[in-house]
Amino acid sequence: MLAALGFATIAVLLLVTMTKRASVLVALILLPVLAALIGGFAGDLGELILGGLSKVAPTGIMIAFAVLYFSLMVDAGLFDPLIRGLLRVARGDPLRITVATAVLTLCVALDGDGASTFLITVSALLPVYQRLGMNPLVLSGVVCLGAGVMNMVPWGGPTVRAMAALKLDSSEVFTPVLPAMGVGVAWVLVASYLLGRRERNRLAALSPQGPDAGKGERDDRETAAATTVTATTEPEPSRHAAPAKADGEHQAVRAPGDGPGAVRVPPLPRTWLNVFNLLLTVTLVVCLIQEVMPLPVLFVLGFAVAALVNHPSWEQQQALLDKHAKNVVLVTTMIFAAGVLTGILSGTRMLDEMAEALVSVVPDSFGSHMPVAVAVTSMPLSLVFTPDAYYFGVLPVLAETAQGFGTDPAEVARAAILGQMTTGFPLSPLTASTFILVGMSGVSLGEHQRFIFRWAFATTLVLTAAALLTGAFPL
């Protein structure tokens, strides 16, 4: 009964979010609560929810301050040189922007951490998409594809879990699928090209008709984008700046409280602030990769330092918080709502029962083909199982079953990482980082899933075919 209740909860959750019958926030909270009540866990409901919230609390704290940090840096113009460079290379072409998105994501995602990948790439690229009028679903979708393939790295969560669950090392799990991963990277670039071409055609259809209309529209977008970027890099005029003199020269800025005859000092140049922001961000990223401190601590400290230097007065800091409070609330509430879902599904042992039920329906005759079956189903099952539930609950049983038919358990592990919480994790409502991606991109989870699911599933199929051809596991 618990297995059926768990599958029904996930199915209804996906249905109501993809059809927009309810907001993701409401569905993530009320549906698992209803399932717990039906399952007879009313007395344990408070403890179950609190347990789930406790597990996602560090992620929620990290995201709150990470959103504030990168929002501050966007306002300060830190990413403007990158935006100008992309616009210069892409020449206002949505296709080139989309391919550049894939390349940047593949590079940033090398650290194996989805949350930081989404924070960095979306913060840097969303202004470009907005200025060119591109669909933000293309941004979230391409980032999803790139981050999914790169999450196969041996220091990424899924591969680490697969190795730990079956007591294998990276040479047995990751090294044999490395050629397939290379093919997957190439496929992501091809997919980004196809998505970019479709987006370019969509924008061209919205432009005025005529032989030169498309070119003129693109030139207008380039000019507007370049003008906008240039404007954002200029320092804001001080609230205490004195009016310009008649001869065109500017008076020095007067400090608050200064009277006539007081010494006036010119404002500090913006260049040193840009250099400081760049060094601070690079230091923060390096510390994230090296795991010098827990991620929430790094972003708390990073934001505090950045706010103090960029907005030294209380009024400026308060204005900063007021400006970006909506984005912080939207993303963090979604993460805590996901904690309610995972807390109830895990605490009631629904996930465990779902894993056992899934394994029980696998026919014995399928044992010799287990790796292929695991690979093909791995990506869709990311929407049903958390990484811990799958890799520590489902995978060991599947591997043991396959071993009874003479199949190496390592082959089953290789098949699993081709989709389960790799290509599938940026679409799953069971991972907090998914809500970072959709929240910062400004799209809903249902829209994101409908837009990119078939592309993500195709990525797993491409990886599976490449793994078969390169001998990672047999047919």
For the residues of 175-243, what is the DSSP string, one character each?
A: GGGHHHHHHHHHHHHHHHHHHHHHHHHHHHHHSPPSTTHHHHHHHHHHHHHHHHHHHHHSPPPPTTPPP
For the cut 80, the answer to whether the pLDDT of residue 84 exceeds it is no
Query: What angle (nearest 5°) sits at the alpha carbon of residue 57, between those of residues 56 and 62?
Result: 100
Listed residue (67, 64, 70) closest to 332, CA to CA: 64
For the cut 70, the answer to whether the pLDDT of residue 123 exceeds it is yes
**131-136: long-range contacts at Cβ-Cβ below 8 A with a sequence spacing of 24 or more?**
131/221, 131/224, 131/225, 131/228, 131/229, 132/92, 132/94, 132/97, 132/203, 132/221, 132/225, 133/203, 133/206, 133/221, 134/94, 134/97, 134/98, 134/199, 134/203, 135/199, 135/202, 136/441, 136/442, 136/443
Cβ neighbours for 10, distance < 8 A, ≥ 6 positions apart = 383, 384
Cα 241 versus chain centre, distance:
41
Written in H, E and C, the secondary structure of 18-31 is HCCCCCHHHHHHHH
| Exposed / middle / buried, residue 57 (Cβ in 10 Å: 0-12, 13-18, 19+) | middle
Give the pLDDT band (50/70/90) at residue 367.
low
Of 77-81, 294-298, 364-368, 371-375, minimum mean pLDDT range: 364-368
Other CB atoms closer than 10 Å to residue 240's CB: what's the count?
12
**How much is the pLDDT for 364?**
66
* Average pLDDT of the residues in 368-378: 88
Cα–Cα dist 250/15, whole Å: 61
Which tens digits make up the pLDDT trace of 257-289? 444 444 444 444 567 888 999 899 889 878 876
Cα–Cα dist 198/204, whole Å: 10
User: What is the value of pTM for the model shown?
Assistant: 0.70
* One-letter amino acid for residue 235 of the chain: P
Which tens digits make up the pLDDT trace of 438-470? 988 989 888 999 999 999 999 999 999 999 999
For the cut 60, the answer to whether the pLDDT of residue 163 exceeds it is yes
Of 12-26, 32-46, 420-434, minimum mean pLDDT range: 12-26
Q: Which residue has the higher pLDDT, 2 or 145?
A: 145
Give the pLDDT band (50/70/90) at residue 365.
low
* One-letter amino acid for residue 108 of the chain: V
Cα–Cα dist 111/69, whole Å: 19
* Average pLDDT of the residues in 104-129: 83
Length of the chain: 475
